[in-house]
Structure 1
Amino acid sequence: MDTQAELQERGRSSAPATGPEERPRSSRVRDRAADLMSWRGTLALGAVCAVFVFLFSSFVVQPFLIPSGSMEPTLRVGDRVLVNKLAYRFGAVPRRGDVVVFDGTGSFVREGGEQNPVTALLHGAAASLGLAEPAETDFVKRVVGVGGDRVVCCDERGRIEVNGRPLNEDYLFTGDAPSKVPFDIVVPDGTLWMMGDHRSRSRDSRDHLGEPGGGMVPVGRVIGRVDWFGWPPGRLGPLPDTAAFDSVPAAGPSHG
């Protein structure tokens, strides 16, 4: 009996340990595979989310970082606004008073500028998410004249007139004149006359009067309409509306 008990005790003591430090090889392999799959799943989910956000910002709503004070007080430096890219996709066109983001290539900046394609791609991706300043060719301004409009500066009281009706521009920066640059233009069909709200600090259509295109921005270059504030939290909400253009009559026959 003693011999049999001794053999049983030796058998138990010589059995391989199955604790956490001496797990079978197959168990350790399974754990490593599970960890690897978990990391791959996380990376895949992150990639899918990134692609979704990028596509959403490319075709639906794009965050846009305001880089300058040309649209103060409506838009301030550092604001992040949400640009509605569907606003003009289904037959609608920009209206007087709309604040829009547009590509100024060929109107506000010359065409043909060269840039490192990799740098441009990375910067464009960051800008499309509102994480970087927009490209140098992207601008945000207010539509003051649409195709066919006659826009004049200024009447005897220093106000801009559109189709003979003076504007009460309640959005102007305090102390700014509507314009210190005189002009009398007719906006060609399919183009827009753009101006900043901070007139003394805005380079807009007025600054390109003598250049090809005369400062007019083709409607096809409009990226979208600024509809909402996305940042900072204290400014969340829709962009303030204006009644400045409510009494402006329809444009007469277009002149070129």
Structure 2
Amino acid sequence: MRRAARPVVAGVVTAAMGAALFGGCLVRTLTGYGSATVSSAGMEPAYGPGDRLVYERIDGDTDGAGDTEGAGGAGGGLRRGDVVLVLAPERYGPLPVVSRVVGVGGERVACCGAEGGAKDGAERVTVDGRELAEPYVKDGIAHGGGLPPYEVTVPGGRVFLLGDHRENARDSRAFLDDRGGTLPVDAVRGRIVPASALAGLLGGMLAGLVPALAGAGLWIAGAVARRRAAPVATPSEWAALL
């Protein structure tokens, strides 16, 4: 390979690799994530009206069902404890709502009756008879809002949802006559994630953009140098060609 051509090749390779990294991260950001604004107080204190949230689009299965601690959630599956964005126009109209997954297919969720009562007499949510630790609920109130006690076995492919502000949340408890208030998993549009979850992708975009620009600059510089190094025909050489 001629020496003048080496910068051109190196520039093309570097630019191509950088562009591929930048493009891949950009596509993942645009197709894998979205944003939404909280419109109600049902998820206080974690999220209040006007809060802007980032959500990760998921495939709507529950393969990763179980407690948040140690749950794998393979394939983006829903897990108990996930805060999710739900679109259920038959219940909430055209706007999506934010709620928390408390029960998944096959689990029995109960509260505040004989089956759902805690040993100390306080109101607690239970899942399959075990008290559910809920440090996120507002003021430690597990029920409220004038809603009746419940005991629901979640059908397969559906989820039972509760807001964190139980005294001000219109969640599965308000629709117990419709399959126990549960919703199909395909009503879930995404799982709420910290905004920092995008940091890696944005860093990848930057990491790709820098070599892409550097490679383009190297390619241009190499092309210019190659052109300058090309031999120029003399008048006698031109005459010999005629």
TM-score in same-fold range (> 0.5): yes
1:87 & 1:171 partners in 2: Cα distance?
25
Judged with a 3 Å threshold, the aligned counterparts in structure 2 of structure 1 residues 176 and 54 are, in CA distance, closer, same or farther, namely farther
2:180 & 2:142 partners in 1: Cα distance?
22
Offset from partner CA, 1:80-123 (integer Å, 9 cap, x none): 110101475873321100000011134x34xxx8xxxxxxxxxx
Offset from partner CA, 1:29-74 (integer Å, 9 cap, x none): xxxxxxxxxxxxxxxxxxxxxxxx99955x3111111111110011
Aligned mate of 1:217, from 161, 164, 183 = 183
SS class of match (2:39): coil
Q: Percent of aligned pairs with the same residue?
A: 36
Q: 2:161: which partner in 1?
A: 194
Question: Structure 1 residue 152 and structure 2 residue 110: aligned?
Answer: yes
Question: What one-letter code is carried by the residue in structure 2 that aligns with 1:77?
Answer: P
Question: Structure 1 residue 163 and structure 2 residue 135: aligned?
Answer: no
Question: What one-letter code is carried by the residue in structure 2 that aligns with 1:104?
Answer: A
2:102 & 2:150 partners in 1: Cα distance?
13
1:172 & 1:214 partners in 2: Cα distance?
21
Q: 2:37: which partner in 1?
A: 65
TM-score by length of 2: 0.56
Q: For the aligned residues, what is the CA RMSD?
A: 2.7
Question: Structure 1 residue 97 and structure 2 residue 81: aligned?
Answer: yes
Measured after TM superposition, the shift of residue 168 of structure 1 is 2.2
TM-score by length of 1: 0.53
Judged with a 3 Å threshold, the aligned counterparts in structure 2 of structure 1 residues 175 and 168 are, in CA distance, closer, same or farther, namely closer
User: Which runs of no fewer than 5 residues in structure 1 stay unpaired?
Assistant: 1-52, 114-134, 230-236, 239-256
Question: What one-letter code is carried by the residue in structure 1 that aligns with 2:102?
Answer: V
Is contact 1:172-1:178 (8 Å) kept?
no
RCO higher in 1 or 2 (8 Å CA, sep ≥ 6)?
2
User: Which runs of no fewer than 5 residues in structure 2 stay unpaired?
Assistant: 1-25, 62-73, 198-242
SS class of match (1:214): helix
Is contact 1:71-1:141 (8 Å) kept?
yes
1:62 & 1:188 partners in 2: Cα distance?
28
Measured after TM superposition, the shift of residue 150 of structure 1 is 0.3
Is contact 1:152-1:162 (8 Å) kept?
yes
1:161 & 1:86 partners in 2: Cα distance?
26
Compare 195-204 and 154-163 and name the one that shifted more.
154-163
2:143 & 2:133 partners in 1: Cα distance?
10
Question: What one-letter code is carried by the residue in structure 2 that aligns with 1:60?
Answer: G
Q: 1:11: which partner in 2?
A: none
Aligned mate of 1:139, from 97, 101, 106 = 97
